[in-house]
Chain A
């Protein structure tokens, strides 16, 4: 079977990323049944630390996650969180531009950074003996960044080209951006993480430094170290490096953003572009994230997304692709890691000679059937088995585990919640899945996007 582009990859972490002292509390080692032995403690300056040992190869993944993302930007400055992420590679008072990257390359390490709506992360993957060096550099740029126009201006051109590469060259990506803007009426999640072009063009050195001083500090960050280390060693090294960075008093509080009003009208967005040779349809619903959901609701939505649209026996695939032969592909996903409300998507690409209206009617029928009749015990079991297995498979990949914890801890979840993920999935009932579908897959909560070559492809829907 063909692999779906929207297939789940990491359990509970599928956010739209842009790639690229003294102990205050006693540390705690926690382990889910059969899970990794995870330690979690907080330095005196407020830096939270998570350690995930994996001794199979002498490698560590070192990540710093800041609790700031595109949703924390001032209106009018879209793209600033991501721009700053790029500029974080431009040097500090202590280490001139490029030195950190040279050291990482010199030890055979890999590095990169990423920005999402709710967090910004920086990571290196290196041999275990280089961990302290990485921590020294990363701690240094937590507060020591120096920026000049000589490095800021070419980098602004780089992010504009990144926007062209990700969005400008792809009609599907343009539609997706427009759909987010239509879905979120009040939340800053409606802004693209990369930024709107006209605002990106105006971003300045002062904007970046101002944002940096406002949000980058140990008490607004999470350090995640996974790999061939033990918690005690990481604690000692973290105290010697990050522990020396002063806490900043004015940040780290609750992240209050404008909230979505109760949605009252379904919306549609059509993007017509001569380059579209394969039309498609996507509907996104506004749904709760792990952080905003009632108990058990996010887990039910995970199972719902799986039953509806993951794999060849999912409802959407089975009905639309195999049986009714309306679509070449169909699927669903749920993004669960967010501070505010998040997204649930269903989508499909019609076969030749099938209209988007016919396909949409098929999608509606599949959703209606789940709302009316629920899911079978067998579907529930199969989906839960798969979702729970993902947690075991994740243990085979230290970088994936580190991302899972980082994304969760910067969006309001705790280490305990991550570790109990499999148990919580196990507890989901068929009734809860049906209830989640009934409550959240309500057309009024949604935006439907049509990607077409020519507007006439959707016009017939109205006739």
Chain B
């Protein structure tokens, strides 16, 4: 549902001429540092802040089963001492200048983010250089951070959200790195040593898989020098383990994990679309109509608005380098889990069989075009979007082309892709004590 009516849509189109275009609002400049490293820059001097985001090719899927969690532990250790600075000294230098530095891993990439007041840029750059080039991985912080990871894993071991999610991925990708949780298991994390962290850093922190986005009060020349200082001394090439392409498994099965909670956590999904799939945008729209957006999707309307079965329900496209899924979730009262599940299954099936209406398509397009800019109103949001566009190979002009790509999608396109995505059943995992709902086809 939802979106503006025809009349409003026309008024909106007229206004487009008056408002600054997205291209103007976010002017992306491709810069190349003196040593030849490329970055995308948005120069925005209005606020005295500089945000630098970057990613390296290679994430948690680089871990072995034996040492699952090594990539994640590495990123947790990067601000725990580097160069001549031990953990305490490193943190003190960050805090003294209110510099924000964080690292994380996804399945395919390792991400970093630096945010600093303009006046503290030199110090921020130096600390980031040390973290990436000379991390220490000292024993004291390693044991401490390992303890924190294990503590989190122990908490997760009885948390219904974690249990349902872990089961979903394990069933979807058995025997593949995508089937593991990024932070590993209680057993694998216990096995990881400092050498494993050094090995991950050596293989992944390299210039060939590096993407950089910079936003804020910094010009191209200063940005180029900053990049060289941080990344210039890293090896030219990484040393990545190959990760095989894989298709999601387990469609048509359902598995219930018994845990004593008043609500059942339900996760459902099916094979999705590669980001490079020519029907990606059509699929993105189909998914939005079924389970995306805020208060407007078919699932939201049927499960929450009409029946009050859950506080929320949503579904989205998730894509990796080597696979893709559509995945959704909800939390419903235990005695009506069966009702909620059959409504979700019906709606998915209905979308697969008939697709959306022309009206739904028009409204979804309008939403998806209009909402993009909302994700670009802070330096860090823009910087992270610059990274995403580069990793998805969409081109530096993607932001200006995006409306056209959405407009080009026809009702037939959406019906075709909806049939492909939503006609073959779901993989469902449930944690809780859902009344009358049992495991199927395992």
Contact = CB atoms under 8 A, between A and B. Distances in A.
Interface in B141-173: 141, 144-145, 147-152, 154-155, 157-160
B158 A322 contact: no
Given A154-B308, A164-B333, A108 B371 contact: yes
A202 interface: no
B343 interface: no
B145 A1 contact: yes
Interface string A1-14: 11100000000000
Nearest to B16: A129
A129 B18 contact: yes
B307 interface: yes
Interface in A72-109: 89, 98, 101-109
A318 interface: yes
B76 interface: yes
Contact of A351 (B18, B147, B332, B367): B147
Interface in A128-171: 128-129, 153-162, 164-165, 168-170
Given A108-B366, A318-B88, 16 more contacts: A57-B373, A58-B19, A106-B5, A107-B12, A109-B374, A110-B294, A125-B374, A129-B18, A154-B307, A158-B308, A160-B333, A161-B308, A321-B144, A322-B87, A328-B150, A385-B98
Contacts of A349: 151
Interface string A298-337: 0000000000000111000010011001001100000000
A303 to B, nearest CB: 13
A106 B3 contact: yes
Nearest to B8: A106
A127 B12 CA distance: 10
Interface stretch (B58-66, B201-209, B375-383): B375-383
5 contacts: A56-B377, A105-B367, A275-B159, A392-B49, A396-B380
B315 interface: no
Interface in B4-50: 4-5, 8-9, 12, 15, 18-20, 25-26, 44, 46-49
A227 B19 CA distance: 14
Interface string A373-402: 000000001100110111011011111000
B160 A111 contact: no
B192 interface: no
A278 B155 contact: yes
A321 B143 CA distance: 11
Interface stretch (B89-97, B221-229, B420-428): B89-97
A58 B17 CA distance: 13
Contacts of A276: 158
A274 interface: yes
Contacts of B92: 313, 382
Residue with the greatest number of chain B CB neighbours at <10 A, chosen from A101, A321, A325, A351: A101
A311 B91 contact: yes
B368 interface: yes
B363 A106 contact: yes
B contact face: mostly helix, strand, loop, or mixed: mixed
A59 interface: yes
Given A1-B145, A275-B259, A105 B2 contact: yes
Nearest to B4: A106
B263 A168 contact: yes
B140 interface: yes
B367 to A, nearest CB: 5
B370 interface: yes
Given A110-B371, A274-B260, A385-B98, A56 B25 contact: yes
Contacts of B1: 98, 102, 105
A397 B368 CA distance: 22
A89 B8 CA distance: 21
A25 interface: no
Contacts of B95: 311, 313, 382, 385-386
A328 B148 contact: yes
B372 interface: yes
B102 to A, nearest CB: 8
Contacts of B46: 54-56
Given A169-B263, A277-B158, A58 B20 contact: yes
B338 to A, nearest CB: 15
A233 B221 CA distance: 38
Contact of A161 (B87, B140, B333): B333
B310 A158 contact: yes
A111 B48 CA distance: 29
A34 interface: yes
Contact of B370 (A89, A108, A382): A108
B257 to A, nearest CB: 13
Nearest to A386: B98
Contacts of B294: 101, 104-105, 110-112
Top-10 shortest CB links A-B: A108-B370, A106-B3, A106-B4, A157-B308, A389-B98, A154-B308, A108-B371, A105-B2, A102-B2, A312-B91
B179 interface: no
B151 A328 contact: yes
Contacts of B278: none
A105 B363 contact: yes
A95 to B, nearest CB: 12
B241 to A, nearest CB: 26
Contact of A169 (B3, B154, B262): B262
A168 to B, nearest CB: 4
Interface string B169-187: 0000000000000000000
B309 A161 contact: yes
B19 A127 contact: yes
Nearest to A89: B295
B69 to A, nearest CB: 13
Interface in B302-333: 304-312, 331-333
A253 to B, nearest CB: 34
Nearest to A61: B377
Contacts of B147: 328, 351
Interface string A409-424: 0000000000000000
Given A2-B148, A168-B263, A106 B308 contact: no
Contacts of A398: 377-378
Nearest to B42: A56
Given A105-B2, A311-B91, A392 B295 contact: no
Contacts of B150: 328
B107 interface: no
Contact of A106 (B9, B20, B158): B9
Nearest to B310: A161
Contact of A397 (B117, B154, B369, B378): B378
Contact of B76 (A1, A104, A107, A128): A1
Contacts of A107: 3-4, 8, 12, 366-367, 370
B253 interface: no
A396 B295 contact: no
B97 A165 contact: no
B388 interface: no
Nearest to A133: B8
B115 interface: yes
A385 B88 contact: no
B261 A106 contact: no
A157 B152 CA distance: 32
A169 B155 CA distance: 13
Contact of A158 (B158, B311, B379, B380): B311
Residue with the greatest number of chain B CB neighbours at <10 A, chosen from A108, A311, A318, A389: A108
Nearest to B44: A56
